[in-house]
Amino acid sequence: MSVAILDLDRSAAHDDDVGEQKLSVRSPMSMWRRRLAPYAQSQRVRSSMQFLTSVVAYLALAVLTYESISVSPLLALGLAPLAGGFLVRTFIVFHDCTHGSFWPSKRGNEWVGRVCGLLTLSAFARWRYEHAVHHATVGDLDRRGTGDIRTLAVAEYNARSPVRQRAYRVFRNPLVMFGVGPVFVMMIGPRIWSSKQRPRLRHSVMLTDLALLVVGGTLMVLLGPVDFLLTWLPAVLIAGSAGIFLFYVQHQYEDVYWERHSEWSFPAAALQGSSYLRLPRVLQYFTGNIGLHHVHHMSSQIPNYNLQRAHDEVPAFHAAPVFSLREAVKLTRLKLWDEDAGRMVTFEDARTSRSTA
């Protein structure tokens, strides 16, 4: 699929105040913000309903899963995918809260975000900071490393020792990334803090860890360790795998946007470096429209329930790279950025190009 250059200048967006405006990757952000402002409005009623159909629904499924253990542990495991789906929706609420876009008030976003953070095992303040860095640096080759999936350029990979090359290959293996990945990304990594972190971020991790220890320990005593783990762990692992997959494929495709910092552009990174993952309607529901990632990266202030409308009504978004779920699965083959060719490649492609150079 080739989308290296988006011809967005053909897309026009109507603005009642300034007339017909042509939006492109070269348009100033002030024009984009003005055009997208009507969608960047959270609605208390819709947000409340989504809270019920994500957080409350997940908690209800957790209770139902626990109760079903007495009937059959297999029945409890059978409910795990559904509970995992509602946990993904809960994470989308958490995600919007970190952007300050879910609830009309700053305080509401922080408190709802902290509650959802406990359910998704995420420290609100630190995740908010790291994700903001991701939005500010996505597609920037010189500012990789915070809030993103580690991606090496071909030259960087070739310069590594055989042991470090093997480690990178293991890390990028789908079985490791989507199988072992959730254990580290959700359970281990977020529990670790450093004295080098800002006090606010470090304290966020400490307090989250303490709250999880108290809540988890209490539930383990009340329910029993086996029943607690059977109720909680499968859904978390399923949700974690789904989350990593979504994040992976929406910034890892052949003609994705990567540039050195001197040439980097925020609009281009949003529209060329973030894909539109067109999911079946039921999966779009459980993933909270996050497949419309190009819209989200252009304006993180748009709540998830307005992303589809923004995409439909702003023609400039229609030229973004689009992938079906089947196509997205194939993207996991891509491992390295070939800076000379300007595209993502497989390990085999990189080896072939090196041998013919």
Give the tens place of pLDDT for each residue, 163-216.
999 999 999 999 999 999 889 888 999 999 888 889 999 999 999 999 999 999
Q: How confident is the model at residue 354 (pLDDT cuts 50, 70, 90)?
A: low
Give the tens place of pLDDT for each residue, 123-166.
999 999 999 999 999 999 999 888 888 899 999 999 999 999 99
The tokens describing 92, both together, are 């989308």
Phi-psi category of 259—alpha, beta or left, where left has phi over 0 and alpha has psi -120 to 50? beta
Q: How far apart are CA 39 and CA 199, in angstroms?
A: 35
Question: Phi and psi at residue 6, in whole multiples of 5°?
Answer: -95, 125
Q: How far apart are CA 149 and CA 291, in angstroms?
A: 17
For the cut 80, the answer to whether the pLDDT of residue 114 exceeds it is yes
CA distances from 327 to 5, 34, 107 (A): 20, 34, 40
Give the tens place of pLDDT for each residue, 309-333.
999 999 999 989 999 999 999 999 9
Q: In the chain, what is the straight-line distance between the N-terminal and C-terminal CA atoms, in Å? A: 25
What is the value of pTM for the model shown? Answer: 0.89
